[in-house]
Amino acid sequence: MNRNLFLLIALFCFSVASAQSPKCAFEFLFKIKPGMQKAAVLDSVSKVVAASQIQSTIEKLPPYKGTGGDSITKEIVVYLVEKPVCFYGLQTKFQLEFADDKLFKVYISTEFGREYFQELTANFNDLRKVIRSQWPFEKATRLLSANLHGSGYEFTKTKKVTTKTEKIIVQYVDPDLKNSKAKYLLEVLWANLKNTRMEGSNF
């Protein structure tokens, strides 16, 4: 594994979780690398993350223009994390995405009731601080539509960004502005398209 990512995960687990033996959803990254085969990744998850698999989907994507070859097999595996220590919300989910059996994306989300916005922002700020300490290039991001609003930051280790650049995004989202009972989502997304046929448009 890339050394900077390893340091980020270690720092995240111990400074944010403040637990003796945290079972954080990020911990499984100690044992995997971008482009790692699905079987090896799932084996690592079963040993490191306390979670139950709740969903698995497969779809075929056409190859990108100019790349040729067969369609890309994209598979998503979703876990419900049991008693997470790195996230303060409820219903913490942990999602792995594979292209042709190779890992390229990890997505983690947790829910906060609207009355817990202060806790949400505290968790968000903790994550941002830890990520920024290791990924120096930060860019603000916004999600905005008629019924959705979100704010966050995209982090990279290099100033120059390409369709294959490894990145982390941390953001919070109000997914339904018209619903006073809708829960906020705190999301962390890590992606590295290296060694896969995926491109930036599928990030």
Which helix (H) or strand (E) is 5 found in, with range?
helix 3-16
Amino acid of residue 10 = A
What are residue 37's phi and psi, to 5 degrees? Answer: -65, 145
Per-residue pLDDT tens listing for the chain (203 residues): 444 433 334 333 433 333 333 444 455 544 556 678 888 888 877 776 778 899 999 999 887 766 667 888 999 999 998 877 678 889 989 899 998 998 888 888 999 999 999 999 999 998 888 778 778 899 999 988 888 899 999 999 888 888 778 888 999 999 888 888 899 999 988 888 877 777 765 54
* Whole-structure pTM value: 0.79
Say whether 118 sits in a helix, a strand or coil.
Answer: helix
CB 128 within 8 A of CB 153: yes
Which amino acid does the sequence have at 157?
Answer: K
First CA to last CA distance, the chain: 20
**Cβ atoms 130, 153 nearer than 8 A:** no
**Nearest-CA neighbor of 196 among 166, 170, 169?**
166
β 90-99/167-174 pair status: unpaired
Residues 35-90: tens digit of each pLDDT: 788 888 888 777 767 788 999 999 998 877 666 678 889 999 999 988 776 788 89
Amino acid identity of 125? N
Complete DSSP assignment for 19-82: -SS---GGGGGGS--TT-BHHHHHHHHHHH--EEEEEEEEEEEPPPTTT-SSPEEEEEEEEEES
